[in-house]
Amino acid sequence: MARFAKRPTDEGLQRCGVDESFFREAMSRVPAAVHIVTTDGKAGLAGLTATAVTSITLEPPMMLFCVNKSSFSAARIIANGAFCINTLAVSQAPLADIFAGRTGQFLEQRFTQGEWTKLATGCPALRGAAAVFDCRLAEAKEVMTHFIMIGAAEAVDFGSEPTLTYTNRTYVTF
Amino acid sequence: MARFAKRPTDEGLQRCGVDESFFREAMSRVPAAVHIVTTDGKAGLAGLTATAVTSITLEPPMMLFCVNKSSFSAARIIANGAFCINTLAVSQAPLADIFAGRTGQFLEQRFTQGEWTKLATGCPALRGAAAVFDCRLAEAKEVMTHFIMIGAAEAVDFGSEPTLTYTNRTYVTF
């Protein structure tokens, strides 16, 4: 890994080595919507909070999200072959903490908050969400410690409430 | 593809089929930072505007972005084996239009705006950017019409100005 000393003369940028804390600091400058990714099927129910989510292609509509390989939800998504990305509306911020495991609730317990329905795949879809992308898993692409979960959207919903966004280590909205 | 009729009784969500316009509408609810992805090397200089960008892993620090396979920049990134993700600060909004091709400028012409430097890979890094992730290409993963470009960060910078963000088809900031 290249290492750079801080150069106070280099205005506007702090030049840093790539250790985890600097990388986290740089990523904190990148605003991201907050999503709950769910799954259900023969392997059972699961859900987690994710911000590493993006679209890949428009036609066909395909999405990806990144998740730690050791995640319980990742194993169930692979076994179920489907996931649903629920982009949180601002009023749904408490769900982000629940599905990030900050409240000590797991599996079915996490779904006692929020109003859940189903679209095409059978994975939980959140009513009132800013957007919903219900996907069939196309591939779990392994990259070091994580999977890039690649899915084809089979149903899409959207709402009217502003989207919950995470930036500079805090929740914001527009 | 599953198709859903609009159900006016289903409050809070408009249920839609997955055609491109509905998918675009749902994606417009997902705020994203605006990035200029650059490359340079034996194949030459190139750069494009991208919003489909996210981190994959923290240790090692790895990033991805999605780009159309037909993109001239994609070919040069693969040939050069490196790319630099420059997360725009608010004051750098004009660069987003230039690198999206809206001003009719191409290749070297695009780099006449903004102040460019180099970090580890030799790809152009933007001074004053909100964040910079200078990456060695690890893999160009083909997914239908697009590549997921996967890179390992060899240098990371960040600035202090707020990040330019795109949501509801407009530029905003926090």
CATH architecture of B33-172: Roll (2.30)
pLDDT, residue B19, reads 84
Structure ipTM = 0.91
A63 interfacial to chain B (CB closer than 8 Å): no
Partners of A11 on chain B (C-beta within 8 Å) are 127-128
pLDDT value of position A9: 37
Residue A54 to residue B33, Cβ atoms within 8 A = no
pLDDT tens digit string along A127-158?
A: 999 999 999 999 999 999 999 999 999 999 99
Kindly report, residue by residue over A62-85, the tens digit of the pLDDT.
Answer: 999 999 999 999 999 999 999 999
Q: Is the pLDDT of residue A8 over 60?
A: no
Place of tokens 């200078």: B134
Q: Helices (DSSP H) in A12-144: which residue ranges?
A: 20-27, 72-80, 93-99
Summarize pLDDT for A86-102 with one digit per residue, the tens: 999 999 999 999 999 99
Domain map (residue ranges) of chain B = 33-172
CB contact under 8 A, A13 and B158: yes
Q: What angle do CA A154, A51, A94 make, to 5 degrees?
A: 95
Asked if A144 is an interface residue toward chain B (Cβ–Cβ < 8 A), one would say yes
Beta bridge partners of A152: A62, A136
Q: Is the pLDDT of residue B75 over 90?
A: yes
Topology classification of domain A20-172: Pnp Oxidase; Chain A (2.30.110)
Please indicate if any CB of chain B lies within 8 Å of the CB of A90.
Answer: no
Q: Which residue of A has its CA nearest to B68?
A: A57
Q: Does B58 touch chain A (CB under 8 A)?
A: yes
Question: Does the structure show a pLDDT above 60 at B84?
Answer: yes
pLDDT digits (tens, 9 = 90+) for B15-68: 445 888 999 999 999 999 999 999 999 999 999 999 999 999 999 999 999 999
B108 SS3 class: helix
Q: Which residues of B11-30 are buried (b: 16+ CB within 10 A; e: fewer)?
A: eebbbbbbeeebbebbbbbb
